[in-house]
Structure 1
Amino acid sequence: MLDVRRLRLLRELARRGTIAAVAEALAFSPSAVSQQLAVLEREAGLPLLERTGRRVRLTPAGQHLVGHAEAVLERLEQAESDLAEARGGLAGALRIGAFPTATRAIVPAALSALARRHPGLEPMVRETDPAAVAHALRSGDLDVALVHAYDFVPAAREPGLAAEPLYREAMYLAAPAAGAPEPPPGVDQGAVLRAHAEDPWITATPGTLCHAMTERACQAAGFTPRVRHRVDEFATVLALVAAGQGVAVVPQLGVTGPADPAVRLTRLRMRRRTNLAFRSGAGAHPAVAAFGAALRAAVPPELAGFRGPE
């Protein structure tokens, strides 16, 4: 009989490519991962791995087994959901990942509603960049997470995970009000961005989706931004824009609050889409479903019209 825990290790190896990466992600030693995979090969009765230098490649049999592992793990998530439903009454920890703007603007109201309806549930929020969510969900560090994707950085399909749409928000170019004149209505997005091709730019830190979004939007407009500052928190980004330190692309939830007369916001033809992500098969888990319902009720009215497909 194949061991589910070893199948999970094989799946992670298929995603990460090295024993060391699997060990780091799952808090094991590399030798322990290697030993467990060797046991799995003996259980399977044929080679599952081919070693090429420091990397490990799955054999065709190993790749086929990973597909079965995905199905098995999804069914186990469904079984846990059914058992939680049968027990009745939500209790215990719910580990939630969220990015900063959602943590500030939406999550607190959702948690308040969740506490009123399910006082035995203990939500635990951790700010997590969406780029790191998939690994955290698959490894079990998170149960559910808010993730976003941009028009220029679409969400990649992540095996073993599922997602449901929550809302969409507009994107803006933030520029010093004392700078170039505001573009006339109807000017296309590329022209708006190209007008600032020679200006210094403020982006998020490399490796984040927000950084990739700005880089790709500018490249689509025909130039590579000259980055002066790398800042992840949008309130700080807008403060730097107001100080004349550069221009930036920011989402709608990043510009809430009193308008700063030193910052000019020009709406772009871009969207940021926010989804609720979880392990495949876990969408019907009562705790996940309850949190999703609370989130949808907490979406600000100005974003309600952006739900659903374009």
Structure 2
Amino acid sequence: MLDPRKLRLLRELAHRGTIAAVAEALTFTPSAVSQQLSALEREAGVPLLERTGRTVALTPAAHLLVEHAQAVLEQLERAEAALRALTEGPRGPLRIGAFPTAARTLLPPALAGLPPGLEPMVTEIDPADVSAALRAGELDVALIHEYDFVPPITDRSVETHALFSEAVFLTQRTSLEEARDDPWILAKPGTLCHTMTIRACQAAGFEPRARHHLDDFDTVLAFAAAGQGVALVPELAARPPHPGVRLTPLPISRRTLIAFRRGYGGHPAVSAFHQVMAGMTVFQSS
């Protein structure tokens, strides 16, 4: 019978690409990962890896096995969650990931509303990194966001539920076309906020001229108020309004979602967090 622990390593290799990356993410040594994957090959009875020097690639049989591994691991998550729900209430550590705006504005009141037996442990994380952190067991649940113009960034191992949607504002101007020749304050390359701004401007027919790269929206608004450029800012990040910054809503939205490992939503701690977040007034969509 195939070992689920080894299947998990194969799934991570499919996502991360190298044995070294899998070892680092799951706190193994590279040699231990290699040994476990070799043992999985023997259990499967077919070659799973094509080795060329220090690089490896998954064979067609390995890709097929990864598809089945996702279903197997999801069922195991569901079984564990059901057992926890049967034998205990929401208690113990709950590792929560959140993007900075959510950590600042949403989590303080949410954490105060959790059952007293839970011990929340919060880590700020970019939504693009959440799938890997959930798969590796570094997080139990996370708040992520999605923008128009940017495709979803979670993979098949992660289940998401929408919480609310908010408008995206342009600072100091009334339209993107009016801001065509302005200097821009962009998020750092590689973030969803950066990609959204670039693509929104491209859809309006121009490439934004970046002057600053800043991730903290309070700093972005302060720079905008000081005449250092224009920016796109989600509604939640503009609460309360910054003095000296004019905000114009655009036909662009940002959606906040809760994310957890597929099959794990019934875990008492994750379910309790989900219920608290869904019950907050800010999540009542218009």
After TM superposition, the score normalised by the length of structure 2 is: 0.96
Give the secondary structure class of the aligned counterpart of 2:50.
strand
User: Residue 159 of structure 1 corresponds to which residue in structure 2?
Assistant: 156
Residue identity in the other structure for 1:268: L
**Which of 201, 214, 219 pairs up with 2:197?**
214
1:71-117 per-position Cα deviation (integer Å, ceiling 9, x unaligned): 11111111111111111322211110001111111111111110xxx
d(CA) in 1 for partners of 2:53 and 2:15?
Answer: 17
1:196-241 per-position Cα deviation (integer Å, ceiling 9, x unaligned): 1211110111111111111111111111111111111101000000
Q: Is the 8 A contact 1:276 1:292 kept in 2?
A: yes
Residue 154 of structure 1: CA displacement? 2.4
User: Residue 229 of structure 2 corresponds to which residue in structure 1?
Assistant: 246
User: Residue 224 of structure 1 corresponds to which residue in structure 2?
Assistant: 207
Is residue 2:25 matched to residue 1:43?
A: no
| Unmatched runs of 5 consecutive residues or more in structure 1 | 176-181, 184-191
Q: Is the 8 A contact 1:107 1:298 kept in 2?
A: no
Give the secondary structure class of the aligned counterpart of 1:263.
coil
After TM superposition, the score normalised by the length of structure 1 is: 0.89
Is residue 2:238 matched to residue 1:255?
A: yes
Q: Is the 8 A contact 1:17 1:55 kept in 2?
A: no
Inter-CA distance 88–25: structure 2 relative to 1 (3 Å threshold): closer
Is residue 2:258 matched to residue 1:276?
A: yes
User: Residue 119 of structure 2 corresponds to which residue in structure 1?
Assistant: 122
Is residue 2:218 matched to residue 1:235?
A: yes
User: Residue 269 of structure 2 corresponds to which residue in structure 1?
Assistant: 287
User: Residue 83 of structure 2 corresponds to which residue in structure 1?
Assistant: 83
Residue identity in the other structure for 1:169: E
Residue identity in the other structure for 1:203: L
Is residue 2:280 matched to residue 1:298?
A: yes
Residue identity in the other structure for 1:130: P
Q: Is the 8 A contact 1:18 1:54 kept in 2?
A: no
Is residue 2:96 matched to residue 1:73?
A: no
User: Residue 187 of structure 1 corresponds to which residue in structure 2?
Assistant: none
Residue identity in the other structure for 2:209: R
**Which of 249, 252, 255 pairs up with 1:267?**
249
Give the secondary structure class of the aligned counterpart of 1:102.
helix
Give the secondary structure class of the aligned counterpart of 1:154.
coil
1:40-78 per-position Cα deviation (integer Å, ceiling 9, x unaligned): 111111101113465422112111111121111111111
Q: Is the 8 A contact 2:128 2:154 kept in 1?
A: no
Q: Is the 8 A contact 2:258 2:274 kept in 1?
A: yes
User: Residue 168 of structure 1 corresponds to which residue in structure 2?
Assistant: 165
Residue 29 of structure 1: CA displacement? 2.2
Q: Is the 8 A contact 2:221 2:242 kept in 1?
A: no
| Unmatched runs of 5 consecutive residues or more in structure 2 | none
1:104-159 per-position Cα deviation (integer Å, ceiling 9, x unaligned): 11111111110xxx211111111111010000001100010011110011214511
d(CA) in 1 for partners of 2:66 and 2:108?
Answer: 38
User: Residue 200 of structure 1 corresponds to which residue in structure 2?
Assistant: 183
Residue identity in the other structure for 1:219: Q
User: Residue 10 of structure 1 corresponds to which residue in structure 2?
Assistant: 10
Q: Is the 8 A contact 2:223 2:229 kept in 1?
A: yes
Give the secondary structure class of the aligned counterpart of 1:169.
strand
Give the secondary structure class of the aligned counterpart of 1:288.
helix
Q: Is the 8 A contact 2:128 2:153 kept in 1?
A: no
Residue identity in the other structure for 1:109: P
Residue 245 of structure 1: CA displacement? 0.3
Inter-CA distance 23–86: structure 2 relative to 1 (3 Å threshold): same
Residue 246 of structure 1: CA displacement? 0.3
d(CA) in 2 for partners of 1:284 and 1:227?
Answer: 44
d(CA) in 1 for partners of 2:162 and 2:53?
Answer: 41
Q: Is the 8 A contact 1:163 1:276 kept in 2?
A: yes
What RMSD over aligned residues (CA atoms) do the two structures have, in Å? 1.4
